Amino acid sequence: MIFQWICVMVLTVVSLLAFFLWVRDRYFRLDLAKRELEQQVEDLSRRLEYSNGLKQKITMMIAHDLQSPLHFLNVLSDHVSRFAANNQLPEVKAGTEEIKKATGNIHAFVKEVNLWARSQHEDFQPAQHSFSLNELAGELQQFFEDMVLLNKNVLIVDCPEDVFVYTNRDILKAILRNLIDNANKHTRGGEVRLVFTNSENSPVLTIADNGSGMLASELQKIRRRLSNPVVNAPVEPNSRLGYQLIADFAHTLGFTMSVKSSKGEGTLVSIGGLVLHSPFVSRLHSTEVISICQPD
């Protein structure tokens, strides 16, 4: 009788222990599944937030940067229409050539937007090679030839022919194009300058204008954005969008930027962190990185 009671107790204890171990194992499995599910939800939420932010910035970028070429195209179309009505065939032919050039510029911009969107991914690694800075500046000068004339401005380029830069050409071109575009938009009957200097082995590109300049509040926002570059940073309200996009590009290439401006006296933007490298030289020569400027 006692033996049977002991056996029952042992079986009961073993059963309870087995049940406890099963419940414990089940709990840990469910807890692990819960954590994995929470991680998946967190990842999906982060990707959704990133995607929404990227869509917002792409939309604003397109609306911002297409204003100049579309406005120019609209004015040009009016001229061509008037020439056609007056049967001025040579002027119509010249106008259609300019329209073709303008649409080509818009196509180039769309490619630039695609490049920017890809550069916003955390694992994006831009391809880099050595190229002539003077040739790149010449392309930009040709690109803006008609747009600066529309505002009665002059684009002056000072880049020596023997300067070669080692970086991603498309992204650097996008940075300079946006800076020149900003300068041209805020200048009337003035000058926009793209200048390369290399004093004390510190190469710097500057884009300067003698246009309307900025308010101190605008300048502070831009400097704050440049001093805190992050991938897919949100669009800052009531700030110049062009500089927010330029900051993204500059961060991608590891460049540093400083901005000086006064209301009514124009704006000067400096780009540092450039690496000079001739394609005819096998070894790279790194240069000092100029620190991001702080508000005066």
Q: How many separate helices (H) and strands (E) can be counted in the chain?
A: 8, 7
Kindly tell me if the per-residue pLDDT of 50 is higher than 70: no
**Does residue 65 have a pLDDT over 50?**
yes
Q: What tokens appear for 120 in the block?
A: 């916003």
42-46, 49-53, 94-98: range with highest mean pLDDT: 94-98
DSSP letters, 40-102, are HHHHHHHHHHHHHHHHHHHHHHHHHHTHHHHHHHHHHHHHHHHHHHTT-HHHHHHHHHHHHHH
CA 202, 207, 213 angle in degrees (round to 5)? 130
Average the pLDDT over each of 67-71, 139-143, 184-188, 240-244 and give the range with the smallest value.
240-244
Find the range with the poorest average confidence among 62-76, 155-169, 208-222.
Answer: 62-76
Percent of residues, the chain, with pLDDT higher than 90: 29
Widest CA span in the chain: 123
Give the whole-angstrom CA distance, residue 64 versus residue 242. 7
Beta bridge partners of 192: 155, 209
Do the Cβ atoms of 243 and 259 come closer than 8 Å?
Answer: yes
Segment 182-197 mean pLDDT: 94
| Mean pLDDT value across residues 24-47 | 85
How is the beta sheet containing 256-262 ordered, strand by strand? 154-158, 191-199, 202-209, 266-272, 256-262
Q: What is the dihedral sign for C-alpha 106, 241, 68, 139?
A: negative
What pLDDT does 294 receive?
35
Q: How much is the pTM?
A: 0.65
